[in-house]
Structure 1
Amino acid sequence: MTHLVSVITPVHGPAAPYLADAYSSLTQQEMPPGWDWEWLIQEDGETEDVRPHVPEDSRISFDQGRHGRAGMARTMALARARGDLVKVLDADDKLTPGALLRDITVLTEHSGIAWTTSRVLDLLPDGSTVGFEGDPPAGPIAQGAVLERWRTHNYRAQVHPATLCARRDLVTALGGWMALPSSEDTGLLMALNAVSTGWFIGECGLLYRKWPGQSTAQDAHHHEAERRARMKIIEERAEALRELSAWHL
């Protein structure tokens, strides 16, 4: 029996040319015995801009849908997922060698761990990379720890949601990604941490591409009133989930 990790990628037209690099990083992954990946690409919209950039591979599933931002595209892709695990990969990012192997190893060898994140390097337009200071120690991340630090540090998490790998049943139970114009991946990270224990992998698992067309580079992403609203609902949902989790325990 082959186990699957479902790699979920939302994409819109400007980012579509980067799918080739993302695919190359997937094909270079070393998989544990008995494991393979499927790649679920979901266009945010119904244009002719993305399909030409989707590689021909039987492990790839491509679909389109009404425009609703990345959160909706991710969740629509989740509906097609068959894997035991769900892995995030944005269209313009690249996995590092061994990333999936490390995720799967942690989640199969530690039954009490529900999700993983890993170290990230920014990939700059000139091809150079830049790291971050302040990564947590490698190993378990206690339930609620990411949420608490995030809200006491100007809503900046010490682990990157673009590196998430999580048990699919839990992601589904939490409703997938939040219906937000952005920060929907942060919303899922906080929800996961509110109800479960995670794990930080100290090796770099992702090259996070910096380019002018990325959503986080747009002025709208930094609109203060919208940001406050996003952070407020992310925090309130996570707190409600944590209270429900504690009550059921």
Structure 2
Amino acid sequence: MNRRVVIVTAVHAPSAPFLPEAYKSLCEQRLPNGWEWHWLVQEDGRTDEVRPYVPDDVRVTFRQGRQDRPGGPGIARTLALAHADGEYVRLLDADDQLTPGALARDLAVLEADPGIGWTTSRALDLLPDGSTVGFPDDPDDGPVERGAVLDYWRAHGFLAQVHPATLCVRRDLLLALGGWMALPASEDTGLLLALNAVSRGWFTREAGLLYRKWEGQVTGQPSHVDPVEREARMAVVEARARALAHLHWTYPAR
């Protein structure tokens, strides 16, 4: 039986038209022998607008929430974990795309070192005209030591040195931390800081994700930078990471 990496995608109606491009980037992945992928697409809430964009593929599972209970992308992704049937979970937002070889590079790192709990990779902004822009301060290839992300994030205006949208995580570690944080935004940053509080990670400098910039993306809306809400999000994200570090819980268990 093949081993499996699960790709988890939260989607809502505005981002649904991008799903075919995300799917194409998945189909272009070349995995090591004996590996396969399973794509879990979880709608945040329930509409009639998402399903038409979901590919008809046995490797793709589409599920919906309740019409009256949308909870945001973090809630949708965590609900999808109930059906994650692989050893590793890779995040892929509905409007983003994996680069060729991204999954194979993640698997190579995690399979080689059981002491690495998660991986990240370089992300390129995908602009509306199709061009891409990178970040000048990406770290070098290699391990990300425990606590390093929180220290950098705190010192650089709540911006991490590695991109949470590129996370690939051991499934048991992700479940132990409760999945993504129950926040209206920054839920992936909260997960990244929690992961780094309890385990070593890895950064791959070769680009693993095209991060789409478009007018409808959630992080581009005014509510995302509301100062009162943002301060509360940052406070609870940091408090959780510090509490985990203080408790000396580590992965893998000693």
Q: State the TM-score, normalizing by the size of structure 1.
A: 0.98
Measured in 1, the distance between the counterparts of 2:140 and 2:53 equals 38
Deviation of 1:97 after TM superposition, in Å, equals 0.1
Aligned to 1:67: 70
2:225 to 222, 234, 239: 222
The aligned runs of 1:52-201 (5 Å cut-off) are 52-65=52-65, 66-201=69-204
**CA deviation digits over 1:4-25, x for unaligned, max 9?**
1110000000100000000000
What is the distance in 2 between the residues matched to 1:112 and 1:75?
A: 24
- Listed as ranges, the gaps of 5+ residues in structure 1 are none
Partner in structure 1 of residue 29 of structure 2 = 29
- Take 1:71 and 1:147, find their aligned partners in 2: how far apart are those partners? 20
For residues 86 and 188 of structure 2, the distance between their equivalents in structure 1, rounded to whole angstroms, comes to 19
SS in 2 for 1:111: coil
The equivalent residue for 1:232 is 235
Q: Distance in 2 between matches of 1:32 and 1:57?
A: 21
- Aligned pairs, how many? 249
Amino acid paired to 1:76: L
**1:246–1:73 Cα change, 3 Å:** closer
- Could you tell me how far 1:112 is from its partner in structure 2? 0.8
Which stretches of structure 1, 4 residues or longer, exceed 3 Å deviation after superposition? Answer: 246-249
| TM-score between the two structures when normalised by the length of structure 2 | 0.96
Q: Which amino acid aligns with 2:174?
A: V
* Gap regions ≥5 residues in structure 2: none
1:7 maps to: 7
Deviations along 1:135-194, whole A, 9 cap, x unmatched? 111110001101111011111001000000010000000000000000100000000000
**Higher alpha-carbon deviation: 239-248 or 221-230:** 239-248
1:7-50 deviation per Cα after TM superposition (whole angstroms, max 9, x unaligned): 00000001000000000000000101111000000000110010
Give the equivalent residue in structure 1 for 2:39: 39
SS of residue paired to 2:247: helix
User: CA–CA distance in 1 between the matches of 2:156 and 2:82?
Assistant: 34
Q: CA deviation at 1:246?
A: 5.6
SS at match of 1:207: strand
| Equivalent-residue separation in structure 1 for 2:150 and 2:5 (angstroms) | 26
1:70-90 Cα deviation digits (max 9, x unpaired): 110010011110010000000
Match of 2:30, SS? coil
